[in-house]
Amino acid sequence: MSVRVRVGGGSAPWGLRSQTPGLCPPTTRLLSGERRATQALPPRKIDPTVSDSLNAPEAPRPVDGPLRHARAKGEPRFPEGPKADPAGSHFERRIRSFQPRRSRVTAGQADALQRLWPKWGLDIDGQRVVDIAELFGNDNPVVLEIGFGMGEATAQMAAAAPETNVLAVDVHTPGQGNLLNLADQNGLANVRVGNGDAIILLREMLTPDALDGLRVYFPDPWPKKRHHKRRLIQPEFLTLAAERLKPGAIVHCATDWEPYAEQMLEVLTAHPDFENTQADGGFAPRPQFRPLTRFEGQGLDKGHVVNDLLFRRVQHEVQPRTGA
């Protein structure tokens, strides 16, 4: 099955969006961010049999375009959708591999978040252990994808392998809505969308050996030296991931940032829980099954070189107990 996706166009989904939607008269906010003309309505007749609030004059309405409800402080953005800060500050890590960004959610994404989140969404709150088989409704193998962005490649891979469950995690709300829409439109029953920091999911919410694979495609490269500590692929992360991966599980990473690719190769090679699938100990040829991702396309446009890494979680020999 082919998945209908649109790659490219518009600004980068992970870029900072500083655009603040324009505010309309007190209680209304427009979707497009631009001010629109308002239209005064004829005065209402007063009905003395109903409460005062029902007799209150109506606020002016915009002439065109949908209205967006202005949220009160603390009111959730999507009452049925992902939580703004699922893990709360008690799980806040000082060093994060992602950067918080303002994100404009389209009407289609907002609709998907409201409609599909209760069915296919998982808030990463760090408060409970997830029963993976219950989450997907079957015992099929489960692959975790960290940082799916807008989710086009995720949906394509899920469509190509319907017997593999994909737990796709990101903090990016528009991407969560986009991936839910793609899963819905393409009838993908094997995708679940996680909202929050994948580190908390791995550390607090997954059992040992829960995962059959891990995908990290084009993680934030954090090119400045002082930001290298924010890169996801580090020895401590690999130790945590190894605890959740079954022996034989494949870790698949890809990046268009060559210094990060070298770092990935170095730390994966040095880690005792992983072995390179490549006999020469180097990067893997780009596998046919990995579609072009949105971020990858942007890297290629800039002339970047893309490297894939395919490592296997090794089976440790169980040491026989010796004793008297």
Residues that bind ligand SAM (CB under 6 A): 14, 97-98, 146-149, 169-172, 197-199, 217-220, 232, 293-296
List CB contacts of 85: < 8 A, sequence separation 6 or more. none
Residue whose C-beta lies closest to ligand SAM: 147
DSSP, collapsed to helix, strand or coil, labels residue 114 as: helix
Q: In angstroms, give the least distance from the CB of 149 to ligand SAM.
A: 3
Radius of gyration of the chain (CA): 23
Please state, in angstroms and rounded to a whole number, the distance separating the CA atoms of residues 151 and 214: 15
- What is the enclosing helix (H) or strand (E) of 166? strand 165-170
Active site residues: 220
Helix (H, G, I), strand (E, B) or coil at 245: strand
Q: Least distance from C-beta 89 to ligand SAM, angstroms? A: 16
Q: Residue 25 CB: number of other CB atoms within 10 A?
A: 12
Q: Which is nearer to ligand SAM, 171 or 249 (CB)?
A: 171
Output the smallest distance, CB 197 to ligand SAM, in A: 5
Sign of the CA dihedral 73, 168, 275, 260?
A: negative
Q: Report the residue number, 197 or 308, with the smaller CB distance to ligand SAM.
A: 197
Cβ atoms within 10 Å of 254's Cβ, excluding its own: 26
**Tokens 């969006």, residue?**
17
Closest to ligand SAM by CB, 197 or 273: 197
Is residue 33 within 8 Å of 21, Cβ to Cβ? yes
State which residue, 274 or 295, has the beta carbon closest to ligand SAM: 295
The least CB distance from residue 154 to ligand SAM, in Å, is 8
Rank residues 24 and 125 by Cβ distance to ligand SAM and give the closer one: 125
- Please state at what angle helix 152-160 crosses helix 173-185, rounded to 10 degrees: 30
Q: Which of 237, 215, 209 is nearest to 316 (CA)?
A: 209
Q: How far is the CB of 172 from ligand SAM (least distance, A)?
A: 4
Which class for 52: exposed (0-12), middle (13-18), buried (19 or more C-beta within 10 A)? Answer: exposed
